[in-house]
Amino acid sequence: MTLPSPTLIWYYYICPREVWLMSRHLEPYQANPFIELGRLISNEAYAKERKEVIIQTPEQSGGMVIDLVKTEGAEVVVAEVKKSSRFEKSARMQLAYYLMRLKMLGIEARGELLFPKERKKVTVELTEDIKEELKIAIDEIKRIIEQDRAPKPKLIKFCKKCGYQELCWA
């Protein structure tokens, strides 16, 4: 079974057009100040933790880069660092997807969403409901990717700060 990258899970919960563009290796404008700010926060926050752990297996397509991995006693904790909770649903599902993929590798873990600017931490667990929602999302992502053309742009609240603005509204 070919699995999408965790980044596509993130984009799916924001905008289907972003999924299609990213699947074609069209990356958002990297000099976008909001993307740069997110990168800075990710690099500066939680300096003492093990960061950007890369997991690549031949059985699963789409490698994973987990922002933070730590242990608390015998428990493995994986964390995703975001600049704000504005995209909390998307971040929650991306992190749950990491947990699901790790479980497929035999690694039980707990997730934490970290919003350092807000001093906020949200625990994420892989429940049966979330697994079902992820299965639906994976099927939808595959459907979007298989389309010959990108879904039409649709103006949503996230468009103002999006790195793909020029590919939608130019």
| Tens digit of each residue's pLDDT (9 = 90 or more) over 134-147 | 999 999 999 999 99
Cα dihedral 160, 90, 59, 54 sign: positive
Fold category of 6-169 in CATH: Lambda Exonuclease; Chain A (3.90.320)
According to the model, what pLDDT value does residue 127 have?
A: 96
| Tens digit of each residue's pLDDT (9 = 90 or more) over 79-97 | 998 888 988 999 999 999 9
Q: Which H/E stretch holds residue 163?
A: none
| 21: phi then psi, degrees, rounded to nearest 5 | -60, -45
Taking the model in full, what pTM does it have?
0.81
With residues binned 3-state (H G I as helix, E B as strand, rest as coil), the percentages for the chain, rounded to 5, are: 45, 25, 30
| Tens digit of each residue's pLDDT (9 = 90 or more) over 25-52 | 887 655 555 555 555 555 566 555 656 7
| Tens digit of each residue's pLDDT (9 = 90 or more) over 114-124 | 998 899 999 99
Which residue in the block uniquely carries the two structure tokens 């031949």? 58
